[in-house]
Amino acid sequence: MEACPICNGLQNVSKLCPYCGGEMEERGALQDFIDDYSPYLSRELAANLTESRDCVHLYSCPVCDKDVRIATPLWNI
Ligand SMILES: [Zn+2]
Ligand SMILES: [Zn+2]
């Protein structure tokens, strides 16, 4: 079965902020945000998400409040 290693706590990915170099916080899988963020996410992105086999995680920087999306390939577990 394929599963996202981050959603399942198998891998902890730390990501440095591209703007200030600080450590970003993992906010969860992007699909969990689609309802809340639907005005913010384009319909195109939602379509990409369902086609993609990667789990996309949202990381945000607590210092400068930027966020980035990181596509995480699924693992066979
Ligand atoms: Zn995930
Ligand atoms: Zn930052």
What pTM did the predictor assign?
0.72
Residue 8 Cα to ligand 2 middle (Å) = 26
Q: List the structure tokens of 8.
A: 């399942």
Q: Are 6 and 13 in contact (CB under 8 A)?
A: yes
Residue 63 Cα to ligand 2 middle (Å) = 5
Residue 64 Cα to ligand 1 middle (Å) = 24
β-pair partners for 57:
29, 70
The pLDDT value recorded for residue 22 is 96
Q: List the structure tokens of 60.
A: 């945000």
Up-side HSE of residue 72: CA atoms within 13 Å toward CB? 29
**Chain segment 22-67, per-residue pLDDT in tens:** 999 999 998 776 665 555 555 555 555 555 678 999 999 999 999 9
Ligand nearest to the CA of 20: 2
Asked whether residue 4 carries a pLDDT value surpassing 70, the answer given is yes
Residue 70 Cα to ligand 1 middle (Å) = 10
